[in-house]
């Protein structure tokens, strides 16, 4: 099932809080309010993922606008799958994820990003982290 992780909701809220700060400390931008409602329900229900189909149009558009500001691919141009590895030492994606990346949805890509970030074993998170930041 496609799902949006709570950390992505948090990141989108913070993006929108910076982009459209409250003018008086009381009112929220519509994007922040829509995402905050999703976040609050997730916390209340002890859920760490949200079904994108359950998000309002405003919340989904706000999440998508945030997503569009993130790096599209974890690739650092050092691909060990071309050498026969099932898991790329450079970016941490599987051979199938690399092959299907252009066709994957934003939600599928974020799920992959979350997995490789949590694993933190790919070279992009170690000795080549600076190189990956330069290529953004």
CB-CB contact of 124 with 91 (8 Å): yes
User: How far does CA 38 lie from the centroid of its chain?
Assistant: 16
CB-CB contact of 24 with 130 (8 Å): no
The model's pTM is 0.81
* HSE value, Cβ hemisphere, 13 Å, CA-based, for 123: 14
- 59-98: pLDDT as tens digits: 999 999 999 999 889 998 888 888 888 899 999 999 999 9
The confidence score (pLDDT) of residue 23 equals 86
């Amino acid at each position: 099932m496609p799902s949006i992780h709570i950390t992505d909701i948090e990141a989108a809220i913070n993006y929108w809080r910076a982009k459209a700060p409250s003018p008086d400390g009381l009112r929220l931008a519509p994007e922040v309010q829509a995402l905050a409602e999703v976040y609050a329900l997730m916390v209340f229900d002890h859920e760490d993922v949200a079904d994108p189909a359950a998000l309002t149009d405003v919340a989904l558009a706000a999440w998508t606008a945030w997503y569009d500001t993130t790096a599209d691919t974890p690739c650092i141009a050092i691909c060990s799958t071309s050498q026969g590895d099932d898991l790329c030492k450079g970016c941490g994606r599987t051979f199938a994820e690399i092959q299907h990346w252009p066709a994957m949805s934003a939600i599928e890509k974020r799920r992959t990003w979350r997995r490789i970030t949590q694993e933190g074993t790919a070279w992009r998170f170690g000795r080549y982290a600076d190189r990956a930041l330069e290529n953004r």
